[in-house]
Structures are given as C-alpha cells and as structure tokens.
Chain A
Amino acid sequence: MNTTTQPSPDTSTARLAFQLYAAIGIAVFLLMMVGGATLRATQAAWMPLAPNFAYQLLTLHGAGMVGTAGLAGAAVMWYFLRRHVPLSTGMFLAMLGLSLVGVVMILAAIGLGGYAGAWTFLYPLPAKGMVWGVHAAAGFAGGLVLIGVGFLLFYLDCALALLKRYGSLWRALGLNQLFGSGPLDKSHPPTVVASTMVIIVNVLGILAGAVVLIMTLVNLYLPSVTFDPLLMKNLIFFFGHVFINATIYMAVIGVYEILPRYTGRPWTISRPFLAAWLAITLMVMAVYPHHLLMDYVLPKWMTVTGQVLSYCSGIPVLLVTAIGTLVNIHRSGIKWDLPSRLLVFSIFGWSAGVIPAVIDGVVRVNLVMHNTLWVPGHFHFYLLLGLLPMLLGTLFWACTRSGWKESALDRAAFWTYGVAGTGFCLAFLFGGMHSVPRRFAVYDPAWIGIAQVGTVAATLVLAAAVILGLRLLTRLPRASLTA
C-alpha cells in the first residue's frame, strides 16, 4: 500500500480510459443480463422465442459475459497494478479498441449471420451448424481472436513492467521468498503476486485459444483440412477454463487492496499466501480435464487428475482468500457501505460456489450431473455472486473518494441482488439435481416450473443490478485513479 510514489502518472487520459472501461462494462453486463433473463423466460415458456433465436441469445450471453468479465477484471488489475509498476495507458486502450472491433464482428456473426455455436465453439460445430454460414462462424472466431490479441498486448505491457521492476516473474510471484530461508519482505504487494499469476496462465490460455481458433478458421475455409476433435476439445477447455478463472483472479485484487483501507489492517504476503498462489498458478492450468470426465477415450490418469485437482483447486480459495477476508474484517470496526458490502459478499459467493463445482468434479457425480443445469448453477454462483460484486465493489470504491453516502435504495438493491441471486443459482442447481439439461431452448413440461422460479429470481436480480449500475454510472465522473 505504498502511495507515496505513483509509478504510473495520473493523467486525464488514464482516468478517461478507466471510466470508459467502467461505463462499457456496466452497460454490457446489464444488456447481457437482460439476454440471460430472456433466455430463462423462454425456458419457462413465458417467452415465445424460436429455438434458433434462443441459441443465438445463449451464444451472445456466454461470449458477452465472459468477454466483459475479462475486460472488467483487466481494468481492476490495471487500476491497482499501475500503482506498483508503470503501466501504459495506450496498451490498456488498445485492448479495449481491439475488443470492440471483435465485439462488432461477433455481434454481426450472431445477429446477421445467425451464428449459434455457443461461446465454446466446440469443433467441428462451427463448420457444421446447418443454419449458419461459413462467414458467420468465421466472424465469430475472428472476433474472439482479435479480443485475444488485445489481451495479449495488455499482458505483455504488464509483464515487461514487472520484469523491469522485479527481474523475473519468479520473483514477482514471490517464489524467491517462498523458497528462500530469510524473513519475508512484507512490502511485496499481493497485487503483484496475483497479477503475475494471471499473466502466466492467461497468456498460455489465450495462446491455446488462438491456436484452436485459427485451426477452426482453416477448417471453415478449407473443409478438407480437418483436425482431431479430441485435441480441439482439450485446447478449447484449457483456454475456456483458464480464461474465465483468470477473470476472478484479476478481480480479487480489488478485495486485497480495498478491504484493508476499510479495516486498517494491511493485507500482506505470507508463506501460505505465496504457496496458495503458486498452487493456483499450476492448478488452474492442470485442472481442465474435469471438463472431459465423460470422454472415456482419454487416458484414465487424466480423469483421475481432473477429479483430484478439482478438489485441490478449492482449497486456496476457501482457506487463504476466504479466511483472509474474515480475519481482516473481524471486529475491525469496518464501516459498511456499498463497496465494502459488495466486496465481502463477493468472497462469500466465490467460496460458496466452489462447493457445488468441486462436487461436480467427482467422476461418479459427473456421470449423472455433467451438462445438466448443475453446471450453470455453480458457475453463476461464483460469477454472478462472486465475480460481479467484486468488480462492482471495486468500481464503486474507485468512484467514492469522498465517501459513499448510502441510501435505503442502495441497501435494498444490495440485499435484493444477494438474495434473489442466490435463489436464481439455487434454481439452476435444483434443476441439475432433477437432471434438467443445460443449453435447452425448449423445456419438457416437467422442467418448466423450476425455470419459472429461476425467471422470477432473474428479474429481481436484473432490477437490482440496474439500480446499482445506474448509481455507478452517475458517480463515474468522480472516478479517481488514486482513491
């Protein structure tokens, strides 16, 4: 928490860049939520959407949410990492610019071209959609490539700055301290550790994604060139798993940086903290076979790895970040306001969501739960109730230098979001228990009731999110890079 020197200057361009990210992020999140709620209402038989339109919406919601989560997470990382090392505003804006071009391509692919191959573009579906053309699929894949390039530029800038300051990523990750015998240098910022982890895993993840997207593009235009579908599946899930997890690991920087300013108790590194981040770095990359437990042609050891590492991946979150948060706030005299509520709640959402995720990673459970609503159940838990409050809490805090005066409306919106959001996720999990498939545009009569409960909850979440989003947008002019 060294604020005496600011390695990256607080220019008006930098401030504007941050505000752009925040404004676009909020707007897209809200739009995608409307899309998600519409989809749930379709499953509830309350909306007469044609299946092809519903699957286009599913593709849009998935890609839009994941992409925006990535950008907003990167904005949190940039916001705090630039206090420790000099970061370029140009590269930060280049990521946004490339992403926006990518988004336009994706929107055109879905809206004009009718692409509905889901955000996971599982090979060879993009080329065999039957209802969409080659150019639509290529537009979608090309859009994702551009977004990926934007992220790579940003991470490159961050990596160079970290290398200049710390000499190696090994030191930036604190591994020289973890494996050294001397006392820890407590001034080494957790933000630097988390950012380094994200750079390592996400650069590899995005590169794998770029490779598989280019292979997909080749196959689209040269159908005689085909690839091994199992290899493609491995690459896609490696990329997808790493990317979506990296969004949370970027956003959690907000918790590490902000909560201590409320409680007056610094969040410093310790050996368990460094060990946890090293473990996460390795496990986030190695755990993706838990998406492939139902692919019996894979070697047995991969299935076992998938189950065992899924379990292990939950440990650092629960034991280091969740307990760290509780220890930080316990009897600290914390002042509850919107940012602090959202940040603490986000750690709850993340920790709780890990539980059904780990349970689904058990092969015996996966055999009967894979690709049911159990899956969106657990990931909406840690995305809607973990990641999003983390991002919102950080943004609110960045716009609240003079202190947030909390209104009754804020409190109502917060509690509605939390309670209805939990209900929304539980309705998915309940559907999973009853083997309701995920990604179905049309429901069998027995499943409709659950979807209706989910839709009511989704509408409440949406209403609360609109209130929070508008509050944030009106405060955005006050955003400060040195809050």
Chain B
Amino acid sequence: MQGLAWSLSLVLMAGVALIFLRVVAGASQPGGDAGTIAAAGYRWRDRLFWVVIVAGVAISFATLRKWPIPGHAAAAATPDVIVRAVGHQWRWELDRDTVRPGELVEFEVTSADVNHGFAIYRPEKSRILAQAQAMPGYTNKLQVRFDEPGDYEVLCLEYCGLAHHAMRAVIKVRADS
C-alpha cells in the first residue's frame, strides 16, 4: 500500500510538473490569442472534470465497498483473541503480548492519560501494518491477522510529550505459543 501511494504520487506529481514546464516554456512567446487559448483550455478543463468525477466514484467504491478498517463496524468478525492496549505517558500496557500467526486478534485500544497512537510495525520495521488512535475515555477496536511469525514493534504515533518517541512495546507472534 505504501509503495503504491508513493509511486502514484510521484507519477501524478511528475505529470503536473510536465504540464507546467511545457506551458511555462512557451509562455514568454507572444502571439497566442487569448480567446482561442481560453476556449481550448476550458474544453480540457471540462473534459478533465468528468474524468476526475468518474475516477472519484470508481475509487470511492473500490476502496470503501469492503470496509477498510477491520474491527470498526458493527459487522466485525468475532476475534480469536482480544488484547487490551492502554497507552500511558510513556509506555504501553498490553494484557498479553504473544499471539499465534493466523488468528484474528482484536486490539481494544485506549489511553489512561493523553492521546496516543497505537501503530503496529511489521518485523522488518519499514512498514506499518495497521494503527488506531488511543484516546482517553474511548476504546477503538482494531482487528489484525498476523500472517508471519516475528516480533512486531508497537510505536506511538500521536504526539504525547517528552518521551513520545520512546513509547514502545513488542507483540510476539509465535507458532508455538
């Protein structure tokens, strides 16, 4: 998902850059008839408008029809294990930290003091698997299925003060647990 977001952003941003560069390159030459250019430009704009609308409807359906956040909906699947995760300045309190690969784990995320962010990182640490806000007075439910065994680090992703960067925990995913 992260790679797709990055590539798509780069391609679209490069597209915008190319269009700007192209127009800018010829802008200092006079002689364009303002009326003709405006008519052509606005024809493009109107076409693009419909392209963007149709794409928007398609993207919205594709990304929202199956609800993207497992656990956050009335029809959530029944979990195999429930883990309560409570944020404190500056540590995580998990009522269990070992789960089995493949089982559906539901994290009940909340906080004892300020807002924190509960983010689970994949073992190689360069990709977030999923996250939820940890907020005092509320419990956000997040369902995760860990496919691979390993150590999944939990980082705090909502700024919570002095030791925000050091507020960590580890979820161990073990086949023999």
Contact = CB atoms under 8 A, between A and B. Distances in A.
Looking at chain A's contact residues, the main secondary structure is helix
A8 interface: no
A287 B17 CA distance: 26
Interface string B22-63: 011011111110100110011011001100100010011001
B113 A124 contact: yes
Given A229-B115, A326-B20, A368-B131, A130 B162 contact: yes
A356 to B, nearest CB: 4
B96 interface: no
Interface stretch (A90-98, A172-180, A430-438): A430-438
Contacts of A438: 157
Contacts of A470: none
A327 to B, nearest CB: 4
A453 interface: no
Contacts of A284: none
Interface in A437-478: 437-444, 446
A294 B71 CA distance: 12
A52 interface: yes
Contact of A124 (B2, B8, B136): B136
Contact of B23 (A296, A304, A330): A330
Contacts of B137: 228-230
A304 B64 contact: yes
Nearest to B72: A296
Interface stretch (A189-197, A331-339, A403-411): A331-339
Q: Chain B, interface size: which category?
A: 35 or more
Interface residues of A, number: 82
A416 interface: no
B28 A336 contact: yes
Looking at chain B's contact residues, the main secondary structure is mixed
A265 B34 contact: yes
A327 B40 CA distance: 9
Contact of B5 (A359, A437, A441, A446): A359
Interface stretch (B77-85, B97-105, B120-128, B169-177): B120-128
Contacts of A272: 42, 45
A363 B68 contact: yes
A294 B5 contact: no
Contacts of B64: 304, 307, 363
Interface string A59-102: 00000000000000000000000000000000000000000000
Given A55-B162, A330-B32, A446 B131 contact: no
B37 A327 contact: yes
A26 to B, nearest CB: 26
B140 A331 contact: no
Given A323-B41, A331-B27, A367 B162 contact: no
A312 B56 contact: yes
A369 B2 contact: yes
A369 B2 CA distance: 7
B89 A128 contact: yes
Contacts of A320: 45
Given A296-B140, A352-B13, A329 B24 contact: yes
A167 interface: no
Interface in A332-391: 332-336, 344, 347-348, 351-352, 355-356, 359-360, 362-365, 367-372, 374
9 contacts: A295-B138, A296-B133, A304-B64, A312-B56, A333-B27, A348-B20, A359-B8, A434-B126, A439-B159
Given A294-B131, A308-B56, 11 more contacts: A55-B161, A125-B115, A229-B135, A307-B60, A307-B64, A319-B45, A322-B16, A323-B44, A330-B32, A333-B27, A359-B8
